[in-house]
Amino acid sequence: MEKITAIKGIKDILPKDSPVWHRVELTARRIFECFGFCEIRVPIMEKTSLFQRGIGETTDIVEKEMYTFRDRDDELLTLRPEATASVIRAYIEHNLSASDPVTRLYTMGPMFRRERPQKGRFRQFHQIDVELFGDESPASDAEVIFMLMHFLQSLNIENLSLEINSLGCKACRPVFSRAVVDYLKGQESSLCPDCRRRMDVNPLRVFDCKVESCGSVIAGAPRILDFLCADCLEHFSRVKSYLNELKLTYEINPRMVRGLDYYTRTAFEVKSGELGAQNSLAGGGRYDGLVRFLGGPDVPGIGFGVGMERLIACLPPAGEVSSSADIFIAALGERAQKIAFTLTQELRRRGICAAMDYSGKSLKSQMKRADKLNSAYTLIFGDREIEENCVELRDMNSKNQQRLPLDHLLEAVTDLLKAR
């Protein structure tokens, strides 16, 4: 029979890898909650229309990469390709702005995109997502960027670089878009088919293109910073001022256009020299009109996403991980096995990591198992010890042994291990 394997671009996270994932998640929770953010958990599946409206119908994500299907009620559903749209949908649906006009949320979990698998990029990938609603101040932009950098630096990731840009607003960005189209006219033959189509539907998407010939053309294109209105210039200037106060090193990248349509004004990206050509580790920006566009109140928003697989690829490899136990119970014979089974479960209920072997193996085999589990102690007894109403407790480091009474065994073992 043919062996069933994982789907291409989707991988298992094995026990040896789990500790580093736990560390990343715990670090994120600790830091984000210190900054006043609360966790929200949103579904992995939404109505397709949410992403079509929230991400943009002409983006590569919506056009090429989403996993979309019809259910038995003929409703069009999609596995989430990113988290922001889902968080906003929940924010609107549950009227979260009513309890706090400035709402700070974070979430983490799997996302799905059908793109070419490569180092740190998968078809099921995990993302840490942060959203701040209700504050349009440049200080919020700087705070979110600072929190992101603090999180990454707390994980001791090296060779980080921060790039920022302003994407303008609905007043000045259309002027820039027209200038880009005018610049590209007459150079269509050097553009890929996707970029030629983007000229008509969403010209700013050409800045995201990875095709080399397109990159050569785009290198001479107009810069968004030369088209910003006075309000956007002032906002960007204040963001930079706050970042300078925080002593964050950054570069202005006027070619950076985030891959989702909803971004306005501040956009940012963090890159890592550990990742090679595909070096983007995290990114985000402001999206002041998106909540209203999705049917909610007219509140500003800013957020970011961190790719967990890419982040973990930047961390040093985890060491060998093995199971461990506070105590292993080596029981010999059927009567001892029954007593050991109950004792094991009661110790676990008291928060003690206890283990035993159910297969009735020899004492030598059970002691090998105790060693493999790095057990601190091993409790040894069989029919003879039951008759004598005592058991042997061996310290696996010193090899010293002591006798414990069988009729008060649970309390004796609990007291001993709690006192360690």
Of 313, 342, 366, the domain-final residue: 313
Work out the burial of residue 182: count CB atoms within 10 Å of its CB; fewer than 13 is exposed, 13-18 middle, 19 or more buried.
exposed
pLDDT value, residue 261: 60
Residues 334, 299 within the same domain: no
Decide which of 323 and 73 is more confident: 73
Q: Is 376 part of a structural domain of the chain?
A: yes
Q: What's the mean pLDDT in 83-97?
A: 96
Write 244-249 long-range contacts (CB < 8 A, 24+): 245/142, 246/142, 246/146, 248/145, 248/146, 248/149, 248/162, 249/162
- What is the per-residue pLDDT for 323? 65
Tokens representing residue 382 in the block? 């069989």
The burial class, CB within 10 Å (0-12 / 13-18 / 19+), for 381 is: buried
What are the DSSP E strand ranges found in 244-339?
251-252, 264-272, 280-286, 301-307, 327-331
Q: Is the pLDDT of residue 239 over 70?
A: yes
Residues near 371 by beta carbon (within 8 Å), at least 6 away in sequence: 396
Which amino acid appears at position 84 of this protein? Answer: T
Which of 29-43, 140-154, 172-186, 249-263 shows the lowest per-residue confidence on average (mean pLDDT)? 249-263
CATH value at residue 64? 3.30.930.10
Residues 293 and 335 grouped into a single domain: no
Which residues are CB-contacts of 241 (< 8 A; sequence separation ≥ 6)?
Answer: 138
Residue 419 in this model has a pLDDT that exceeds 80? no
Is residue 48 assigned to a domain?
yes
- Residue range 228-253: mean pLDDT, rounded: 96
> Model confidence at 190, in pLDDT bands (50, 70, 90)?
confident
- At 258 the pLDDT is 62
pLDDT at 76: 95
Per-residue pLDDT band at 218 (split at 50, 70, 90): confident
pLDDT digits (tens, 9 = 90+) for 304-323: 999 999 899 888 766 555 66
- pLDDT tens for 127-146 read 999 999 999 999 999 999 99
Amino acid (one-letter) located at 143? E
Among 188-197, 239-248, 400-409, whose mean pLDDT is lowest?
188-197
Under DSSP, the state recorded for 53 is H
Query: Which H helix or E strand runs over 79?
Result: strand 76-79
Residues 357 and 307 in one domain: no
Choosing from 313, 335, 356, the residue where a domain stops is 313
Say whether 223 sits in a helix, a strand or coil.
coil
Number of domain units in the chain:
2
pLDDT number for residue 119: 64
Domain that holds residue 144: 18-172+228-313
Contact 288, 166 (CB under 8 A): no
Q: What is the pLDDT of residue 285?
A: 94
298 lies in the same domain as 334:
no
What's the DSSP call for residue 63? I
In a shared domain, residues 308 and 266:
yes
What whole-number distance in Å separates Cα of residue 414 and Cα of residue 322? 24
Of all residues in the chain, the percent with pLDDT exceeding 90 is: 61
* Residue 36, phi-psi category: left (phi > 0), alpha (psi -120 to 50), beta (remainder): left
Give a yes or no: residue 69 inside a domain: yes
Q: Is-contact 286 45, C-beta < 8 A?
A: no
pLDDT at 301: 96
pLDDT, tens only, 370-392: 999 999 999 999 989 999 998 99
Angle at CA 246, nearest 5°, toward 241 and 251? 65
pLDDT of residue 317: 67
Residue range 289-310: mean pLDDT, rounded:
93
Residue 277 pLDDT exceeds 70: no
**117: pLDDT strictly greater than 80:** no
Strands (E), 214-342: 251-252, 264-272, 280-286, 301-307, 327-331
Q: Tokens 């060693």 sit at which residue?
A: 371
Q: What is the mean pLDDT of the chain?
A: 89
- Tens digits of per-residue pLDDT, 344-353? 999 999 999 9
Statement to judge: residues 153 and 232 lie in one domain: yes
pLDDT in tens, 318-332: 655 566 889 999 999
Contact 42, 127 (CB under 8 A): no
